[in-house]
């Protein structure tokens, strides 16, 4: 898995059997992107010169990253997996136009690893009328559902998404707004660091109430579900347009922390008010300022990391795509139509045999 944060590759080795239908995480490996690759990926989010060639060559480079991460993990653990499920790197997510683009050369990845590769998970759901996102709710239900208990799972990656697992009734989910995306971009611009470690810089600033109110007027929050988001809605350019340019940089960061927490909390209050158990995963789970702000905005809920219910917060999404690949190989659907809005459940992904 490589997500909207553009930081690197999470490779998770997951085993499936009757005792572990949602999979058991055996081992994991992280391989960070070079700064050059990160910047070139970021540039592809906007139209530019010779972008088809740039996208194709970067897809090859990414596939070598995916292969290296996979091969290093395989070598370390000494087990040869059945297949690789590879999400690829999202550079455009435009379901309203009928497509979502994740860069990966799956044929190259199969050649570099000599393994079957499953890729292109989102476009079948979009072809069936869905958003192609979020795709993790079906896995969240399989891994974290608990009889008689209403639960909410919050994944805070570049974008934050919410899965509602009710005690009774269908699973539901959607992208609720920005996660780390704006926090990381603002931090990089003003500190030179790729993220605000522990949320310390954000904690040093002061909330700007008028700016927070301006952020919360983003039209995305008034859209009906199902809905999904990305850099198309919450970019650094959008952020710049909200500012007076007189705000202190740390105060903007502090306000972005509250913006992210409140947008998540509002989504839970509106769609999952009965959930007293909330579990958080993704890189944002380690931002102490953000986690504290989320708890403050949901004072009547128990908020913990998914570590408490079986999967470490950093590895839930990679584990989820392993599960989606396993579903594909078994010819079983992987999408949750209540989350994506597709007209029917679909077998997701394209298979490139070893």
CATH no. for residue 180? 3.30.420.40
Backbone angles phi, psi at 222, to 5 degrees: -95, -5
**Do 340 and 133 touch, CB atoms closer than 8 A?**
yes
Q: Are residues 120 and 107 in the same domain?
A: yes
Q: Are residues 148 and 103 in the same domain?
A: no
The residue range of the domain holding 210 is 137-313
Task: Say whether pLDDT at 197 is over 90.
Answer: yes
Q: Which residues contact 67 (CB under 8 A, 6 or more apart)?
A: 108, 109, 112, 113
Domains in the chain: how many in total?
Answer: 2
Tell me the Cα Rg of the chain: 19
Q: Are residues 306 and 257 in the same domain?
A: yes
What pTM was estimated for this model as a whole? 0.94
**24 within domain boundaries:** yes
Q: Which residues contact 291 (CB under 8 A, 6 or more apart)?
A: 199, 280, 284, 285, 303
User: pLDDT digits over 16-59, tens only?
Assistant: 998 899 999 999 999 999 999 999 999 999 899 999 999 999 99
Q: Are residues 235 and 276 in the same domain?
A: yes
**Do 97 and 60 touch, CB atoms closer than 8 A?**
no
**1 within domain boundaries:** no
**196 within domain boundaries:** yes
Q: Could you give the CA distance from residue 271 to residue 203 in angstroms, rounded to a whole number?
A: 29
DSSP-derived 3-state class of residue 231: coil
Q: Are residues 93 and 141 in the same domain?
A: no
Residue 11's CB is within 10 A of a number of other CB atoms, namely 26
DSSP 268-288: HHHH-TT--EEEEESGGGG-H
Q: Are residues 144 and 262 in the same domain?
A: yes
The pLDDT score that the predictor gives to residue 167 is 87
Task: Say whether pLDDT at 329 is over 90.
Answer: yes
Q: Are residues 226 and 343 in the same domain?
A: no
**3 within domain boundaries:** no
Task: Say whether pLDDT at 270 is over 90.
Answer: yes
Q: Are residues 215 and 304 in the same domain?
A: yes
Q: Are residues 231 and 337 in the same domain?
A: no
**74 within domain boundaries:** yes
Q: Are residues 93 and 167 in the same domain?
A: no
Q: Are residues 337 and 199 in the same domain?
A: no
**112 within domain boundaries:** yes
88-102, 195-209, 262-276: which range is least confident on average?
262-276
Q: Are residues 286 and 215 in the same domain?
A: yes
Task: Say whether pLDDT at 273 is over 90.
Answer: no
């Amino acid at each position: 898995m490589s997500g909207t944060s553009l930081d690197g590759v999470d490779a998770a080795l997951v085993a499936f059997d009757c005792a572990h239908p949602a999979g058991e995480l055996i081992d994991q490996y992280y391989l960070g992107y070079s700064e050059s690759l990160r910047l070139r990926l970021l540039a592809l989010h906007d139209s530019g010169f010779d972008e088809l060639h740039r996208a194709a060559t970067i897809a090859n480079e990414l596939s070598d990253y995916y292969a290296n991460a996979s091969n290093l993990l395989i070598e370390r653990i000494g087990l040869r997996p059945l297949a690789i499920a590879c999400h690829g790197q999202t550079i455009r997510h435009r379901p309203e136009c009928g497509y979502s683009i994740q860069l990966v050369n799956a044929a190259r990845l199969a050649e570099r690893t000599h393994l079957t590769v499953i890729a292109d998970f989102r476009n079948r759901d979009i072809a069936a009328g869905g958003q192609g996102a979020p795709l993790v709710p079906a896995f969240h239900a399989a891994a974290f559902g608990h009889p008689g208990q209403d639960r909410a799972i919050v994944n805070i990656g570049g974008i934050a998404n919410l899965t509602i697992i009710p005690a009774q009734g269908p699973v539901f989910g959607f992208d609720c707004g920005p996660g780390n995306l704006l926090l990381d971009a603002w931090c990089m611009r003003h500190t030179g660091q790729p993220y605000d470690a522990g949320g310390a810089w954000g904690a040093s600033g002061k909330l700007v109430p008028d700016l927070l109110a301006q952020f919360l007027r983003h039209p995305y929050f008034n859209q009906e579900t199902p809905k999904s988001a990305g850099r198309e809605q919450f970019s650094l350019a959008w952020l710049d347009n909200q500012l007076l340019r007189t705000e202190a940089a740390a105060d903007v960061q502090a306000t972005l922390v509250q913006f992210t927490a409140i947008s998540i909390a509002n989504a839970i209050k509106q769609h999952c008010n009965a959930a007293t158990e909330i579990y958080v995963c993704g890189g944002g789970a380690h931002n102490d300022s953000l986690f504290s702000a989320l708890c403050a905005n949901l004072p009547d809920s128990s908020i913990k990391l998914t570590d408490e219910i079986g999967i470490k917060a950093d590895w839930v999404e990679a584990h989820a795509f392993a599960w989606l690949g396993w579903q594909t190989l078994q010819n079983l659907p992987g999408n949750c139509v209540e989350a994506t809005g597709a007209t029917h459940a679909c077998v997701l992904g394209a298979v490139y045999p070893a």
